[in-house]
Amino acid sequence: MSTSPGRRTSRRSRTSTSSAPVVSPVQAGMHGGHYTPLTQTEIERIHALVLRLLEDLGLSQVTPSLEARAVEAGCWVDDNNRLRFPRALVEDMIARTRRKFTLHGIDPTHDIEIGGKRVHAGTGGAAPTILDFETGKYRESTVADLYDIARLVDRLDNIHWYHRSVVARDTASILDLDINTTYACLAGTTKSIAVSYTDRASIDAVLPMLDAVAGGEGAFRKRPFCTAVCCHVVPPMRFATESCEALEAAVEAGMPILLVAAGQAGATAPAALAGAVAQACAEVLAGLILCNIIDPNCRGIFATWPFVSDLRTGAMSGGSGEQALLSAACAQMAGFYDLPNSVPAGMTDSKLPDMQSGGEKGYTVSLAAHAGASMIHESAGMQGSLMGTSFEGYVLDNDLLGAILRTVKGVEVNEDTLNFDVICDVVMGEGHYLGHPQTFARMKTDYLYPEIADRRSISEWEEAGGRDARDAARDEVRKVLAEHYPSHIPDNTDTQLRDHYNIILPKARMRTGNGVW
C-alpha cells in the first residue's frame, strides 16, 4: 500500500469534517443496569419479603379517604388498624403500573423519558443551610438561594432536573414556603422542577401558578413539568397523614409523584442492608398502589431512599460505601419490577467540596448509575450529609456527573470501531492516528472534555497561577449568576403571580446589575 494516498485521504477528510457539529458522547437517558449487586435468587428473596410485609404486616395510619379507596380495590384493615395489601393485588398493580413516561421540562427541549433503565441525574434534598459564597461559612438558606441555584442548574448540562435542594428559612409558614419554593424554581430554570409538598393546601395553592406559567387554565395538566415529592410514609411501615393528603391531591391534579420512603438503616429501617431494601420497597409499593387506585394512568416514581446510619453515633452517613450499595440494590429491585424509579446518591458527608466530597460522590453516583437508576436524586451540590449545599459544588459535580455518565455509555463495538482498514491505513501509512479521519470524527463523539477538571501539564498549571478546581468552579458560579437571568415567564404573568401570591423574592433581585452577583 502506498503511503502518499493515505496522507492525502487524511488531509481531505480532516478538512471536510472540521466544521462537523460536536455530538457529545453523554446525553440524558443512556442505559444502565450492568452492575448487579444482587443475584436473581437474592432479588426474589427480597421480593418475597416485600410481599409478606405488605400482606401480613401492612401499614398503619392511613387516611380515611385513601383507606376507603384501598378497601374498595381489595385491601383490608386488620384489628390493629393496619392497612393490608393482598399479594395478588400488589403483583397486579406492579404489572399495570406505567413503565415509562415523559418528565416534562418547562421548555420541551428539556423533556426526558423516565423508565427502562435510562439513567438521569439531578438535584434534590432539603438542606437548611448553604455555604455562603463570600464568607465561606454556613448560614440559613433563603428563597434567593433557591432561585440562584436554579439559575446555575439551568446552565449545567449533566444535571437533568431541578428538585429544590434547600429549604427557604426566610418564609413565615409552610404555605408560604411551598408557594415561594415553587415560584423560585419556576423562575430560575426551564428544566423540569420538583417540590416537596406536605399537605393538600399547598398543592391546591400552587396549581393556578403552574397553569399560569404553562399558558393558562388546564395547560399544566397537558404537560406537567412540576413533580410533587411526597414522603408518604414515616418508616417503619406507617403512613404520613398530611403527606398522604398531598399525594392524593397531586395525583388528582395530574402531577408526577415521587413516592419517597427514607428509612435510616439501624434506626427506622433494619441495620441489615437487605432488610432495609425490602422495607423501602414495601413502603414505596404501598404508596404506588394507592396512586394507581386513584388514577391508573398516574406518573408514579418508585423512590426507595433508605439511608445509612453510622452505628457508632446514629448520625446519617450519606457518603458511605454501604449507602452506595443500598442505592444500587434499590435501583436493581426497581429494574426487577420494571418501574420508573429514583435513588439517592452524591450525599457526601464532607462539609466542603473537597477530596472526600469528590470521592464519596464519585462511587455512590457511579454504582447507582451503573445499576440502572432512572433518576439519581441529590447527585449535585449537597454537602454535610444533606444538611448543607454549596454553589461551587453544583459546578464541580456537573463535571463529575459527565464523566460518570460517559462510563454508563460504555464501549461502542461496531464495524467502524473495529475497522481493519483504519489500522492497516495507519500502520502502512503515517504510523500514527493523529491525522486519521476516524480520529478526528471520534474526538467529537466519543470523548468528553471537562469544563473544570484540569488536564494541563504541571508547568502550565503553575504558570497560570496554580489554582485548584474549586477556584475554577467559583469563577464559573460568578459568571453564570452575574449574567443568566431566565426570562421565560412573561412580565405580565409574573405581575399576576405577584398580585395573587405573597412572593418574597424582589423582582429587582431577578435582573442583571442587582448588586448581589
Full DSSP string of 370-399: HTT-SEEET-SSEETTTTEEBHHHHHHHHH
The Cα 223–Cα 505 span in angstroms is 26
The pLDDT, as a whole number, for residue 187 is: 98
Q: How far is CA 42 from the centre of its chain?
A: 27
Q: Are 369 and 401 in contact (CB under 8 A)?
A: no
The pLDDT, as a whole number, for residue 21 is: 65
What is the pTM for the complete model shown?
0.94
The pLDDT, as a whole number, for residue 315 is: 87
Domain ranges of the chain: 3-25+422-445, 95-408
The closest of 304, 256, 335, 289 to 93, measured between CA atoms, is 289
The pLDDT, as a whole number, for residue 23 is: 78
Mean pLDDT for back-to-back runs of 10 residues, the chain (517 residues) = 37 44 81 94 98 98 97 98 98 96 98 96 97 97 98 98 97 97 98 96 98 97 98 97 96 98 96 98 98 97 95 91 98 98 98 97 98 98 97 98 96 94 95 93 91 96 96 97 97 98 97 92
The pLDDT, as a whole number, for residue 346 is: 97
The pLDDT, as a whole number, for residue 117 is: 93
Q: Are 333 and 277 in contact (CB under 8 A)?
A: yes
Cell (9 digits) for 312: 457508632
Helix, coil or strand: residue 101: strand
The pLDDT, as a whole number, for residue 19 is: 56
- The long-range contacts involving 434-442, CB below 8 angstroms and separated by at least 24 positions, are 435/7, 435/10, 435/11, 435/14, 436/10, 436/13, 437/9, 437/10, 437/13, 437/14, 437/17, 440/13, 440/14, 440/17, 440/18, 441/17, 441/20
Beta bridge partners of 308: 265
The pLDDT, as a whole number, for residue 5 is: 37
The Cα 161–Cα 107 span in angstroms is 12
The Cα 264–Cα 507 span in angstroms is 41
Give 475: exposed, middle or buried? Use CB within 10 Å, 0-12, 13-18, 19+.
middle
The Cα 412–Cα 447 span in angstroms is 12
The Cα 212–Cα 191 span in angstroms is 17
- So what CATH class is 95-408? alpha beta
